Structure 1
């Protein structure tokens, strides 16, 4: 399942509660679009702002509405004790895979991060995706650490940050990592502006925040790349440049939340304080971009 477009939907919430009906609506859009997989409780899923009971409830809700689409559940937490509890719950609830970022307050060492993955994979019965997201965790994986972790049982994929915009450099980066990990471990690109380049460079999957809301255009890019039509994949991605520019400026979470609010899919506010979706002129700019790109429905 760790191939193709993996869509990471928003978890709509405010200071009072998670908006479960809106969460289900977002999931249903992805099921109808037939994305290759869905990942709930990733960074776009606001997992770091949720309690353990809320996270378990959302995992169960997502799995109840998967409708045959493979479902991955984020299990990152500050303490290994909590990660293990979330992993056990996700497996028992029927998750097809789990996603793990090395969440921390104190800066972690390579040995501490390896120990985390070693402890979790020891009791897993489903594949694990290593979530390499230095923008949120502030931990930078070396290729050597990726190689160590990839040897652990049940490690099924590595989500790498966005690759270089230079196609040869992107391919060299993917090939360098590929040479260090077992052949059954897939490589997935993140950073939506880099999705087409990453897939064309040889990544197996695209782990996408934008795909969690606008699956159609990203599926088209993914299918073009999978068919070997690199030029078409890049053309379709370049068409979305106004959206990529907004993500670069404001961060994907704020843009996705504002877009979902503008589309009437979630109530406003849809993020937990102190986070805020786009407002004012930035919000109006986003509205115009969505209209120009035909993403307003």
Structure 2
């Protein structure tokens, strides 16, 4: 399985004050990612604000992305929704539009049981008929996939990968060893949480599902390549340049910081969907300062 490997870059979904897509700006983000040589694009993930967008806007976003990418970089599309019916519809639409893979998180208002999540994934994977990655993101969904549920889901047709949060104990190698013992040989285990990417990849993680690569794909690619090659010294050097930004991601949430980065890089200003607020000027200045070391990264 090669789709869910390497660097997967997750762009923002730029919208106006009415929640309508700004397709030209989205395509500018995507062109940067393609030019940097990312291994895939993760459209409509948490960084893409999928939970705040209507299904219609999500479908328009997908089509604008497919038009721009034109097969140059594999496209993974988030299809998480509150109901299984909507998620199935989004999965079918992704296949019909030309996506290469799916990313599914168990969104909910009522807390979900393991059996409810299993049946949800079973239905959406069957509807999409594309390689699907389990999105284990308890920070937003409040649902944590245990090893037994991941193993059970990995036996479903089309479910070929998992996107894991950073382990609380930092034992990436141990966690991956346990999951690999319970899942098919070609099941891909990758990680999100940008500040842990270096350690996850050096420990054998298959993929970095990267927030920052949505706007800074070149230094993210450099970090990925160094870590996957086992070059710990280079990976440490690049990760050190990212460290001030990682601290801001942890303090304010990467979603908010990414909107500030968009402005600092000179893109058309966009704001997060309400009720999420933009960072104030003092925080904005801190983000600008954190970006400076990254300009020195050799890519």
Task: Give yes or no for contact 2:219–2:294 (8 Å, CA) kept in 1.
Answer: no
Q: How does 1:59-74 map to 2 (within 5 A)?
A: 59-67=62-70, 68-74=72-78
SS of 1:254's equivalent?
helix
Runs of at least 5 residues in structure 1 that lack an aligned partner in the other structure: none
Given the two structures, how large is their TM-score scaled by the length of structure 1?
0.95
Aligned partners of 2:124, 2:294: CA distance in 1, in Å? Answer: 42
Q: Does 1:49 align with 2:47?
A: no
TM-score, structure 2 normalization: 0.94
Aligned residues: 293
Q: Return the alpha-carbon distance in structure 2 between the equivalents of residues 23 and 219 of structure 1.
A: 20
User: Structure 1 residue 86 and structure 2 residue 90: aligned?
Assistant: yes
In the other structure, the counterpart of 1:280 is 281
Q: Whole-Å Cα distance in 2 between the matches of residues 165 and 239 of structure 1?
A: 24
Greater mean deviation of Cα atoms: 156-165 or 173-182: 156-165
Q: Who is 2:165 aligned against?
A: 161
Instruction: Give the aligned partner of residue 150 of structure 1.
Output: 154
State the distance in 2 between where 1:182 and 1:235 align.
34
What pairs up with 1:109-148 in 2 under 5 angstroms?
Answer: 109-148=113-152
Q: Give yes or no for contact 1:14–1:272 (8 Å, CA) kept in 2.
A: no
The DSSP-based 3-state class of the residue aligned with 1:267 is coil
3-state secondary structure, aligned to 1:156: strand
SS at match of 1:159: strand
Q: Distance in 1 between matches of 2:293 and 2:98?
A: 40
More deviation, 202-211/230-239: 230-239
Alignment of 1:32 onto 2:38: no
Q: CA shift at 1:283, angstroms?
A: 0.7
Aligned to 2:80: 76
In structure 2, what is the Cα distance between the partners aligned to 1:277 and 1:266?
15
Within 2, Cα distance between the matches of 1:221 and 1:291? 16
2:284 alignment partner, SS class: helix
Contact 2:21 2:60 in 1 (8 A): no
| Counterpart for residue 186 of structure 1 | 188
SS in 2 for 1:123: helix
Task: Look up the match of 1:22.
Answer: 25
Q: CA RMSD in A?
A: 1.5
Deviations 1:213-271 (A, max 9, x none): 11111111111122121232123212211000000000010001111112122324x21
**1:123 Cα shift?**
3.0
1:294 aligns with 2:298: no
| Residue aligning to 2:213 | 211
Task: Give the Cα–Cα distance (whole angstroms) in 2 for the partners of residues 164 and 228 of structure 1.
Answer: 23
Which moved further from structure 2: 137-146 or 169-178? 169-178
Equivalent residue for 1:13?
15
Give the CA deviation at 1:165.
Answer: 7.3
Deviations 1:251-294 (A, max 9, x none): 010001111112122324x2111112212211111111113432
For residues 14-69 of structure 1, the C-alpha deviation after alignment (integer angstroms, 9 at most, x for no partner) is: 43222221111101111111100001100000111111111111111111111410
SS at match of 1:72: strand
1:202 maps to: 204
8 Å contact 1:163–1:189 — kept in the other structure? no
SS at match of 1:99: strand
Regions of 4+ moved over 6 Å: none
Question: 1:164: how far off?
Answer: 5.3
| 3-state SS in 1 of match to 2:17 | coil
Deviations 1:181-237 (A, max 9, x none): 111110111000000100111111010111111111111111112212123212321
